[in-house]
Structure 1
Amino acid sequence: MASTDDPAPTEPMPPDELGRRLVYAMLLPAVRMALALGMPSKDLVRWAELAVYHEARRRNLKNHEIAEQLDVSVRKVAELSRRLKENFLSPDREHGLPRRIEFMLWAEPASAARIKQTFTDAAEAEIDEALATLEAQGRIRRTHKGRTVRYERVGAKAVLVQDQMLARIDGLNNLLGNVADVVHARFVAESPPESFARTISLRVRKDELRHLRSLYDDVLWEVLQRLDESAHAAPEDAETLSLSILWSPHAHLERLLEAGRDRDGEENDDV
């Protein structure tokens, strides 16, 4: 069994070089996925461009500001806006917006008006629909403070597992967002916040893989639940964290790509 512990401190790297290396390292998994799916590099570049626009849009930048940041024309920005709406915006709102609202309500209850003031990138009708979805799923509930109706998050005991593909993709966005936060905290932040990252390589018998899931369901989840409840009791001394847990067969994607290269080599030999 092997673990990636923190290496000893080294000489600082120039910021420009560090930035290039970090972004390049984070792009490689996306490239491997694109190769595994047979996506042409031209399409990958187009999706990367759209992702930059999408992130700029989340930050409520105006079209001319986005054009300047992407070094493209305003007309190009309008084209990116159209592509975003056609490809991703509806699914993102359908599944991402409820999660964002739920996360906001983790800190404290809020009225619908306050929520709408916070999520200015979503239409009021979309927020109303997201609140209705969360309420129907038992993830939030209504409370009253005087004459004001507020929404509050239901306790951490409500574990929601969604198998719909779009919801799972939103979960992927959440996971990779956490990865980006950890990377920045550990490599870039001038005053690094508390963060943690470990990768362990080990061998597990196939008939004992279930113990990994049990480790989360029966042990870790209960500990996390207690920590969360303790934080609610003393919110002024609490830190909001995102914790991701994942495992897979070692080098699963890389082995898949290698198998594809071997098959291609055999086919070429027959020509």
Structure 2
Amino acid sequence: MADRGTAEKELAEQVVYALLLPAARLALALGVPVREVADQLEVAYFHETRRQGLKTREAAERMGASLRKVADLSSRLKQRFLHTNETHELPRRIEFLIWAGPESEARICQALPDVEPRAVAKALQLLVEQQRARRIEGRTIRYEALKAERRLVADSLFSRLDALQNLAANLAHAVYGRFFRGEARAFARTLAFRIRPEDLPRLQQLYEEQIWPALKALDEAARGAADADALDFSVLWAPRDSMQHDDGDEE
């Protein structure tokens, strides 16, 4: 941040603060102490350095932390998120990589510098077992995605947490594109409207009958296109008073 102008630095701070406010609000509603929130933020920050392929010393420099601190964060990350990553997040990332065309395990490892080769092999095996990918035998074994529809809907804790991470990541991408890159493809709208309780099912119907089929058709049309853009699309709705106090006072 030191090489940025004052105005851009202030904008970055305000944008990050705006994104942290909902997390703080949720933590307060759930009774999570601020110290635990701060600890989780440190782990999440380190997690992102790993996802971007930064080495330990590079991560320490970017975080302004000691090597000892980074080693501690690495241990905490493995303890808390290893299972979720290997069973849900990593297979989904690999599935997206091989959607455009078959790839070898070695090429997949190169594309995921933050992931250990052992974890990649395990995730590929899981994808094959779940019939989301297949092995293509040959001089070099490659893996191909089987399902064009990638709505990985499952009523389990890990699946819902993975979906939450996808949603939050999409929000971060949209914010960065709109505020700092002038990215025309980044689009976000929040619409406030009233709805009767009996009309709520129509929101689900809107998604199932119009939004999803349209996106599916666009996705299929882009298969194999070298110039296709990889976009994330989120549709959100929720009552404004979802986190209202029990005593009826607004937060």
TM over 0.5: yes
User: Are residues 260 and 141 of structure 1, via their aligned partners in 2, closer, same or farther at CA, if it must alter by over 3 Å?
Assistant: farther
Structure 1 position 215, deviation (Å): 1.0
In structure 2, what is the Cα distance between the partners aligned to 1:27 and 1:213?
29
Other structure's SS at 1:151 match: strand
In structure 2, what is the Cα distance between the partners aligned to 1:200 and 1:132?
42
Other structure's SS at 2:143 match: strand
Other structure's SS at 1:252 match: coil
Structure 1 position 66, deviation (Å): 2.0
In structure 2, what is the Cα distance between the partners aligned to 1:242 and 1:209?
25
Q: What are the equivalent positions in structure 2 for 1:158-177 lying under 5 Å apart?
A: 159-177=151-169
Residue 93 of structure 2 corresponds to residue 103 of structure 1: no
Name the structure, 1 or 2, with higher relative contact order (CA <8 Å, separation 6+): 1
Structure 1 position 261, deviation (Å): 8.5
Residue 234 of structure 2 corresponds to residue 241 of structure 1: no
Q: Which residue does 2:134 correspond to in 1? A: 141
Residue 171 of structure 2 corresponds to residue 179 of structure 1: yes
Q: What is the aligned counterpart of 2:64 among 48, 62, 71?
A: 71
Other structure's SS at 2:235 match: coil
In structure 2, what is the Cα distance between the partners aligned to 1:148 and 1:67?
38
In structure 1, what is the Cα distance between the partners aligned to 2:185 and 2:149?
26
Residue 197 of structure 2 corresponds to residue 206 of structure 1: yes
- Computed over aligned residues only, the root mean square deviation of the Cα atoms, in angstroms, reads 2.0
Q: What are the equivalent positions in structure 2 for 1:12-27 lying under 5 Å apart?
A: 14-27=7-20
Structure 1 position 151, deviation (Å): 1.5
CA-to-partner distance for each residue in 1:152-211, whole Å, 9 max, x for gaps? Answer: 22242464312211121111111111101100111110x524121111112222222111
Structure 1 position 53, deviation (Å): 1.3
User: Are residues 68 and 238 of structure 1, via their aligned partners in 2, closer, same or farther at CA, if it must alter by over 3 Å?
Assistant: closer
Matched-pair contact (CA < 8 Å) for 1:201–1:250: no
In structure 2, what is the Cα distance between the partners aligned to 1:58 and 1:14?
29
User: Are residues 90 and 155 of structure 1, via their aligned partners in 2, closer, same or farther at CA, if it must alter by over 3 Å?
Assistant: closer
User: Are residues 48 and 211 of structure 1, via their aligned partners in 2, closer, same or farther at CA, if it must alter by over 3 Å?
Assistant: same
In structure 2, what is the Cα distance between the partners aligned to 1:70 and 1:120?
19
In structure 1, what is the Cα distance between the partners aligned to 2:42 and 2:27?
15
Aligned residue identity for 2:183: P
TM-score, L = length of structure 1: 0.83
Structure 1 position 212, deviation (Å): 0.9
CA-to-partner distance for each residue in 1:78-104, whole Å, 9 max, x for gaps? Answer: 211121122123322221100110111
**How many residue pairs end up in the alignment?**
244
Other structure's SS at 1:243 match: coil
* Structure 2 unaligned spans of 5+: 1-5
TM-score, L = length of structure 2: 0.89
In structure 1, what is the Cα distance between the partners aligned to 2:175 and 2:45?
18
* Structure 1 unaligned spans of 5+: 1-12, 263-271
Matched-pair contact (CA < 8 Å) for 1:141–1:151: yes
Q: What is the aligned counterpart of 1:84 among 34, 53, 77?
A: 77
Q: Which residue does 1:35 correspond to in 2? A: 28
Structure 1 position 15, deviation (Å): 0.5
Other structure's SS at 1:201 match: coil
